[in-house]
Chains A and B, each alone.
Chain A
Amino acid sequence: MIVAIASGKGGTGKTTVAANLALVASMQGRAVSYLDCDVEEPNGHVFLKPEMYLTEPVSVPVPVVDDDKCTACGRCSEICRYSAIVLLAKTVLTFPNLCHGCGGCSMVCPSGAITESGREIGVVEEGARGQIRFVHGRLTIGEAMAPPLIRAVKKRVRPDDLTIIDSPPGTSCPVIQSVKGSDYVVLVTEPTPFGLNDLSLAVDMLRVLNLRFGVVVNRADIGDDAVFDYCAKQSIEVLAQIPHDRRVAETYSRGLLAAQELPEYAEVFRTILERCC
Chain B
Amino acid sequence: MRVAVTAKEASVDGPVDPRFGRARYLLVVDTETGETDVHDNEVNLNAAQGAGIQTAGNLAQLNVSAVITGHAGPNAFRALSASGIAVYTGAEGTVAEAVESFNNGKLVEAKSADVEGHWL
Given A88-B60, A95-B75, A83 and B82 contact (CB-CB distance below 8 Å): no
Does residue A216 face the partner (Cβ distance < 8 Å to B)?
no
Asked whether, in the complex, the Cβ of A83 is within 8 Å of the Cβ of B84, the reply is no
Interface string of B24-62 (1 = CB under 8 A from A): 000000000000000000000001111101101100100
Asked whether, in the complex, the Cβ of B49 is within 8 Å of the Cβ of A83, the reply is yes
Does residue B79 face the partner (Cβ distance < 8 Å to A)?
yes
Rounded to whole Å, the gap between the CB of B41 and the closest CB of chain A is: 14
Interface string of A84-105 (1 = CB under 8 A from B): 1011110101010010000000
Given A82-B49, A83-B50, A95-B50, A88 and B56 contact (CB-CB distance below 8 Å): yes
Does residue B83 face the partner (Cβ distance < 8 Å to A)?
yes
Asked whether, in the complex, the Cβ of A95 is within 8 Å of the Cβ of B60, the reply is no
Please, which residues of chain B bring their CB within 8 A of the CB of A98?
A: 49-50, 53, 75
Asked whether, in the complex, the Cβ of B83 is within 8 Å of the Cβ of A88, the reply is yes
* Nearest CB in chain B to that of A92: its residue: B82
Please, which residues of chain B bring their CB within 8 A of the CB of A89?
A: 60, 82-84
* Nearest CB in chain B to that of A83: its residue: B50
Does residue B78 face the partner (Cβ distance < 8 Å to A)?
yes
Chain B contributes a number of interface residues (CB within 8 A of A) equal to 16
Please, how many angstroms separate the alpha-carbon atoms of A87 and B78 in the complex?
12
Please, how many angstroms separate the alpha-carbon atoms of A95 and B51 in the complex?
12
* Nearest CB in chain A to that of B44: its residue: A83
Sorting the interface of chain A by its residue count into under 10, 10 to 19, 20 to 34 or 35 or more gives: 10 to 19
Asked whether, in the complex, the Cβ of A88 is within 8 Å of the Cβ of B57, the reply is yes
- Determine which residue in A88, A89, A95 has the highest number of CB atoms from chain B within 10 A of its CB, and name it: A88
Please, how many angstroms separate the alpha-carbon atoms of A239 and B116 in the complex?
44
* Nearest CB in chain B to that of A100: its residue: B49
Asked whether, in the complex, the Cβ of B82 is within 8 Å of the Cβ of A95, the reply is no
Rounded to whole Å, the gap between the CB of B14 and the closest CB of chain A is: 27
Asked whether, in the complex, the Cβ of B82 is within 8 Å of the Cβ of A91, the reply is yes
Please, which residues of chain A bring their CB within 8 A of the CB of B53?
A: 83, 86, 93, 95, 98
Rounded to whole Å, the gap between the CB of B108 and the closest CB of chain A is: 24
- The 8 Å CB contact of A86, one of B51, B79, B84, is B79
Given A88-B60, A95-B75, A98-B75, A83 and B83 contact (CB-CB distance below 8 Å): no
Please, how many angstroms separate the alpha-carbon atoms of A95 and B73 in the complex?
13
Given A88-B79, A89-B84, A98-B75, A83 and B60 contact (CB-CB distance below 8 Å): no
Asked whether, in the complex, the Cβ of B57 is within 8 Å of the Cβ of A86, the reply is yes
* Nearest CB in chain A to that of B117: its residue: A97
Rounded to whole Å, the gap between the CB of B58 and the closest CB of chain A is: 11
Q: Mind listing 10 A-B residue pairs with CB under 8 Å?
A: A83-B49, A83-B75, A86-B57, A87-B57, A88-B79, A88-B82, A89-B83, A98-B50, A98-B53, A98-B75
Residues of A within 8 A of B (CB): 77, 82-84, 86-89, 91, 93, 95, 98
Closest 6 A/B residue pairs (Cβ): A83-B50, A83-B53, A88-B83, A89-B83, A88-B82, A93-B82
Given contacts A82-B49, A83-B51, A84-B50, 13 further A-B contacts (CB under 8 A): A82-B50, A83-B49, A86-B53, A88-B57, A88-B60, A89-B82, A89-B84, A93-B53, A93-B78, A93-B79, A93-B82, A95-B75, A98-B50
